[in-house]
Amino acid sequence: MPRILNVAVAQMGPIDKDDSRERIVARIVELFKEAKALGANVVVLPELCLTTFFPRFTLDKAALDMYFEREMPNASVAPIFEYARDNRIGFSLGFAEIPEHAPDKRFNTQIFVDDNGAIAFRYRKVHLPGYREHQPDAPFQHFELAYFDPGDLGFPVRRSMDANVGMCICNDRRWPETFRVLGLQNVEIVLCGYNTAGVNFHGSEPAHLRMFHHLLTVQAGAYQNATFVAAAAKAGIENGVPLIAGSCIVAPSGEVVVLSQTQDDEIIFARCNLEHAQFGKRSVFNFAKYRRPDAYRMIVDRVGAEDPEH
Ligand code: ING
């Protein structure tokens, strides 16, 4: 019996640091309307989709609190929640979180809201890239390590809308552990928002590798864990830094089912039969039958790579 999830990925073009919240939310609602017209019942939004990618501006953390949400939902995002609930659309939304119960914490967070308008669960970014101090020779700064606390919720998978749903954020997709922990919870679709620069701030590399690595990671994660992956870019030039597009929906086979064509606000859509995820889990990636955790201890016990004994 097929279990179809009609998935839309809402790619967003750049958000300028002077864009009003009303304008940003109106763009998102317009994308939801387009998704609805296609029959979507789930919409995936990018990482930090309510603000510009601010973790480049300054190391004065107090100056950046204006970019954080202290409540979710809140008055400014209400139009998104209302439209989604009224049209029975579930969605994931990435934002900068100051938890109500822990005002000293700062998280790069993504929530999943079900088609009744309730926040079903949240995820806080585990892998924080970049630096804690200014990089004088870098083409631009990336201070996520300085601003955000490491995610403290693990990689949850929750049953919602008759699907095993998991989430990750941007850099997380580059680490196979992310998808494997989700895969060990029988995830059937991973919702991934990202803001990925078109230039590697670590050092010079051919430009085409940014898109290649993006697709490589989500396709590998999907295939090796027999899950759909729906990845939503914030794209275009933000604060002078080019962000790649490449929003896509990947099947459990690892094949890209649909790919965005622009660097602007754009909806891509696919009907995802979640039973296709079960095929891989029963066969090639039957974890219970084929995995050997006794041979993998090092993955958990060791943090950094160490040279072999001489
Ligand atoms: N962005 C980048 C990403 O992982 C990065 C960080 C830049 C990683 C360059 C590797 C090389 O896509 C975020 N927001 O994580």
Domains of the chain plus CATH, in order, are 4-301 (3.60.110.10)
Cα–Cα dist 159/96, whole Å: 24
pLDDT category of residue 260 using cuts at 50, 70 and 90: very high
Q: How far is the CA of 201 from the centre of ligand 1 (A)?
A: 8
Q: How far is the CA of 97 from the centre of ligand 1 (A)?
A: 19
Query: Mean pLDDT over all residues of the chain?
Result: 97
**Is residue 230 a contact partner of residue 249, using CB atoms and an 8 Å limit?**
yes
Ligand 1 site residues (CB inside 6 A) read: 129, 170-171, 174, 194-197, 200-202
CB atoms within 10 A of CB 174: 17
Query: Scanning the structure block, which residue is given the tokens 């990750």?
Result: 168
User: What are 189's strand-pairing partners?
Assistant: 165, 228
Residue 203's pLDDT is 87
Angle at 243 between CA 90 and CA 171, to 5 degrees: 65
- The CA–CA distances, whole Å, from 174 to 149, 171, 179, 197 equal 19, 6, 9, 14
Atom of ligand 1 nearest to the CA of 170: 15
Note the pLDDT tens digit of each residue in 16-35.
Answer: 999 999 999 999 999 999 99
Note the pLDDT tens digit of each residue in 123-156.
Answer: 999 999 999 999 999 889 999 999 999 999 999 9
Active site positions, annotated: 47, 125, 170
DSSP of 120-173, one letter per residue?
A: EEEEE-----S-SS--TTSSS---HHHHPPPPSS---EEEETTEEEEEEEGGGG
Q: Determine the average pLDDT of the residues in 37-46.
A: 98
Atom of ligand 1 nearest to the CA of 169: 15
CB atoms within 10 A of CB 204: 8
**Is residue 239 a contact partner of residue 289, using CB atoms and an 8 Å limit?**
no
Note the pLDDT tens digit of each residue in 161-203.
Answer: 999 999 999 999 999 999 999 999 999 999 999 999 999 888 8
Q: Whose CA is nearest to atom 1 of ligand 1?
A: 196
Q: Whose CA is nearest to atom 11 of ligand 1?
A: 200
Pocket test for ligand 1, best of 145, 171, 201 (most atoms within 8 A of CB): 171
- Give the full edge-to-edge strand order of the sheet including 4-11: 119-124, 107-113, 90-97, 42-44, 4-11, 266-273
Residue ranges in the chain assigned as alpha helix (H): 21-37, 78-86, 144-147, 176-183, 208-224, 275-282, 287-290, 297-301
Atom of ligand 1 nearest to the CA of 47: 14
Atom of ligand 1 nearest to the CA of 108: 14
- Relative to beta strand 189-194, strand 248-250 is unpaired
Residue 202's pLDDT is 85
What is the length of the chain? 310
Q: How far is the CA of 278 from the centre of ligand 1 (A)?
A: 31
Task: Please determine, for residue 1, whether its predicted confidence score (pLDDT) is greater than 90.
Answer: no
- The CA–CA distances, whole Å, from 215 to 244, 252, 279 equal 11, 14, 22
Q: Whose CA is nearest to atom 4 of ligand 1?
A: 171
**Is residue 78 a contact partner of residue 167, using CB atoms and an 8 Å limit?**
no
Q: Whose CA is nearest to atom 2 of ligand 1?
A: 196
